[in-house]
Amino acid sequence: MRFSVARGFSSVVQGFSSVVQGFSSVARGFSSMVQGFSSVAQGFSSGVQGFSSVVQGFSSGAQGFSSVARGFTRVARGFSRVARGFSHVARGFSHVARGFSPAILIALFATVAVRAQQVTFDRILHADREPQNWLTYSGSLFSHRYSPLTQITPGNVKNLELQWVFQTRGPAEPVEKFEATPLVVDGVMYTVLAPNHVVALDAATGRMFWMYSPRLSPLARVCCGRINRGLAILGDTLFMGTIDGHLIAIDAKVGRPLWDVALSKPELGYSLTVAPLVIKDKVIIGPAGGEYGIRGFIAAFDAKTGKEVWRFNTVPGPGEAGHETWPANSDAWEHGGGSIWVTGSYDPDLNMIYFGTGNPGPDWNADPRPGNNLYTDSVVALNADTGQLKWHYQFTPHDEFDYDSTQVPVLADIQWQGRPRKVMLWANRNGFWYALDRASGEFLRGKPFVRVNWAEGIDDKGVPKRVLNASPEGTLVYPNNQGATNWYSPSYSPRTGFFYIPTWMDTSSTYTKGPAEYKAGNQYTGRFPTMPVAPLRTGPGNVNTRTPQEGWGAIQAFDARSGELKWQFKMSDVTDSGVLSTASDLVFAGGREGYFFALDARTGELLWKGNVGGQVSAGPMSYGVNGRQHVAIAAGSALFVYALRQ
């Protein structure tokens, strides 16, 4: 562990102590200045008396000049005291400056505004009891991305108005995607500007209280953007992963780092883009980097100290269960991928956490890794206290199409075939959406929600019936490399019983097998597939000129119990937006078209639409402050917050 006193503009820990010393020195300095100016006055008085003595000197001779000399001596002593006073002042402000960068000076003045906030785990566990707050990435540990607030309704949503906008600013990177979901705690919003600049804002007005900017290693390697998806909070401490592979604890009141842990070496491709998950007294996180041949893991850290408590390897090594699914007498498992880049979920009754894992490496050439390649493209259920594997389910064995299973596990308690059941709903990148028993991992259902041709379906045991593979000549595969959906959050409404999925419809890629050789720090992928739809889109100047036959976007609603498609809202372009549902039967989402919109949660009817001027690549959330419900969404390089017209 390395403490981040050396990170940032200066030593913040010493800086806070220096502030006290500095302002004390300032006070002493100003006191000296007063004394000094008093001496100046006395000195000038002596000087006047001295010059008077000069005048008299023609009569008094040497005695007058002696008085003048004494007067100027007093003047010199006075200015000397002034100089000492200013020296005290300079030293005082030097103490202050050594403790604070400009960003931290903002934090100093914010300490009055940002109250001490004790977010206990019990508050996070029962987030539904305080719907005005948004305490974790998906709004709750069941990851419904559902707001119990009801002030904004289908009847009045047409009266939504923009309340404030927070623009990305230096030292953040404004041309990068804004993928973070904010947290809101008792009227204070916390979010992350790309890549790792944390800000605290007044949730009512957008006024910034403080910004924390860690010093990032230039060796950081990321495949798909220098981004961050959000924070976690426990007590009055925020937790953030960084693109150079560090987990940092930050004082939520003033933006001061408390501890800093390096998880691995950034030059090998290990990065942290996921919002951490707080469970009890632990912070749980894992690295991205599957495109660089990392070996993935999920690890838990003590929230107070940063000490690692347990680690689960998503690619098992020799002697670990699942290692037999990798080739024998080979080091393929050492570069096997299985990255973590979407926040998991938690069931307190079962004391299990659930995380989805990324693709195996290399991505598009499976020749170096025959076998099913556990636990890649899977959901793993772990004991929250020990990290012990309880069960797993692999969505895409021996993946060649980059179908990461890094989607949000949505936990729901529903009636299933006439009896209550704890299920997990999962919209997968491979084109199927699933219902699993989250206590046992039993496969319950798997149905396609887009056009799929790589598999004919899923058998009764939950294994896909695969019919296509990558080839040297090229294989056309539906859905495309980015998948039917991806990391962007789905939503589940307990009121409607619908599962809402942001979807890429009718997209395809051509996979042509190419060579893949592992070299530390380089991408380890094989040949990149071709596709009509750009996998990533950032910056200005991107215009959608595709026909619908080449792919389009939709928000789809499925009945979680029956699997029936209830409605579909079509968009001309694909979407990287998450979905938010509310207790007033609204659904909020956006897309690459640059709109943020509200739909009727039961019918899919468009009720309201606003232009946010940039693509939406984040999940919406809702909170309450000063008796008003707000809805927030990041788009382009800004955060937009809406409420009803007053």
Which residues are part of the catalytic machinery? 402
* Residue partners of 329: CB distance under 8 A and separation at least 6: none
Question: Any long-range contacts for 465-474 (C-beta under 8 Å, 24+ apart)?
Answer: 469/400, 470/364, 470/365, 470/366, 470/400, 470/401, 470/511, 470/512, 470/513, 471/511, 471/512, 471/513, 472/512, 472/513, 473/512, 474/510, 474/511, 474/512
Query: Can you tell me whether residue 241 is helix, strand or coil?
Result: strand
How far is residue 268's CA from residue 416's CA, in Å, rounded to a whole number? 45
Helices 102-110 and 12-60: crossing angle in degrees, nearest 10, is: 100
- CA distances to 109, 424, 457, 527 from 452, rounded to whole Å, are 56, 22, 9, 22
How far is residue 553's CA from residue 236's CA, in Å, rounded to a whole number? 40
Tokens of 590: 């956006």
Helices 12-60 and 62-99: crossing angle in degrees, nearest 10, is: 170
- Alpha-carbon Rg for the chain, nearest whole angstrom, is 30
- CA distances to 123, 124, 248, 253 from 118, rounded to whole Å, are 9, 11, 18, 11
How far is residue 35's CA from residue 77's CA, in Å, rounded to a whole number? 11
Tokens of 46: 């002596």
Which residue(s) pair with 435 in the sheet? Answer: 425, 445
Count of positions (residues) in the chain: 646
Q: Which amino acid is at 597?
A: F
How far is residue 440's CA from residue 414's CA, in Å, rounded to a whole number? 16
